[in-house]
């Protein structure tokens, strides 16, 4: 367990960096908005044909996409046919600093999935396993409305721990827990000074092999 400034304990296997991105909150939100001007948020469907409740876009060399053909990383945005917008330098620097704090030096993410949740939206527990390189960690940055992160185990049946995440919080996992199940409980209504009734999450990954 990693105790944090507020006395909240991170569940085992998860590195919790409370407020790590808070100083950059406004700049991160502005950079995410600029990405979404070129690659708009869209609601994707699962391979089984169900609409997700979270809207998504990407930046970086690789973008995560889901449709009837399956889950995968693509170099181009299927909506525009253009390469995904470049990863803003601020995103890259923050992800690398957070990874380093969690003991994963040398992290070079090539993908940043940007998730936008409105009240009621959720993400069912899943594994991040569409990446070619599982030696790299996952760095996840929360912005906007609070959320409850569900941190499970190696098996879907493992009961998840609940960790409240606030704007500016960062969580990192990798190594032995790289493939652990995780998700987000349905977002509660509210209003954030910069994002209004929304939560935006940045998830940094190494998608293609280095
Ligand atoms: C994800 O697992 O891709 C997103 C998690 C989050 O929104 O915090
Ligand atoms: Fe995930």
Mean pLDDT split into 10-residue runs, the chain, 210 residues? 56 96 98 98 97 98 97 98 98 98 98 98 97 96 98 97 98 98 98 98 95
Encoded tokens for 194:
């910069």
Q: Which residue has the tokens 């809207």?
A: 55
Instruction: Name the nearest CA neighbour of 122 among 142, 143, 147, 141.
Output: 147
| For the CA of 149, the nearest atom of ligand 1 | 8
Q: Would you state the pLDDT for residue 201?
A: 98
So what's the pLDDT on residue 8?
65
The first and second tokens of residue 190, run together, are 């509210």
Atom 6 of ligand 1 has which residue's CA nearest to it?
A: 201
Q: Which of 109, 59, 115, 108 is nearest to 87 (CA)?
A: 59
150 alpha carbon, closest ligand = 1
The sign of the CA dihedral 39, 91, 16, 101 is: positive
Top mutation candidate among 201, 202, 205, 207 for ligand 1, by most atoms within 8 Å of CB: 201
Q: Write down the pLDDT at residue 133.
A: 86
Q: How far apart are the C-alpha atoms of 140 and 188, rounded to whole Å?
A: 19
Task: Kindly list the protein residues whose Cβ atom lies closer than 6 A to any atom of ligand 1.
Answer: 113, 115, 123, 140, 149, 182, 184, 201, 203
List, in order of start, the domains of the chain with CATH numbers: 14-205 (2.60.120.590)
Kindly give the distance from the C-alpha atom of residue 161 to the centroid of ligand 2, in angstroms, as a whole number: 15
State the pLDDT at residue 186. 98
How far does the centroid of ligand 2 lie from the alpha carbon of residue 138, in Å?
Answer: 8
Distance CA 1, CA 11 (A): 6
Gap between the Cα atoms of 202 and 3, Å rounded: 23
């Amino acid at each position: 367990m990693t105790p944090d400034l507020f006395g909240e304990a991170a569940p085992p296997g998860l590195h919790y960096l409370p407020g790590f991105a808070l100083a950059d909150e406004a700049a991160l939100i502005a950079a995410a908005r600029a990405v979404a001007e070129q690659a708009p948020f869209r609601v994707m469907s699962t391979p089984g044909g169900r609409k997700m409740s979270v809207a998504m876009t990407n930046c970086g060399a690789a973008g995560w996409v889901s449709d009837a053909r399956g889950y995968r990383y693509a170099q181009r945005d299927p909506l525009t046919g253009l390469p995904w917008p470049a990863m803003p330098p601020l995103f890259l620097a923050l992800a690398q600093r957070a990874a380093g704090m969690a003991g994963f030096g040398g992290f070079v993410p090539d993908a940043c999935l940007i998730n936008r949740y409105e009240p009621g939206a959720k993400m069912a527990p899943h594994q991040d396993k569409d990446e070619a390189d599982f030696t790299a960690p996952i760095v996840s940055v929360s912005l906007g409305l609070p959320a409850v992160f569900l941190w499970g185990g190696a098996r879907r049946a493992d009961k998840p721990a609940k960790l409240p995440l606030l704007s500016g919080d960062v969580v990192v996992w990798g190594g032995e827990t790289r493939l652990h199940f995780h998700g987000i409980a349905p977002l509660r209504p509210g209003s954030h000074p910069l994002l209004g009734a929304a939560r935006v999450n940045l998830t940094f990954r190494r998608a293609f092999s280095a």
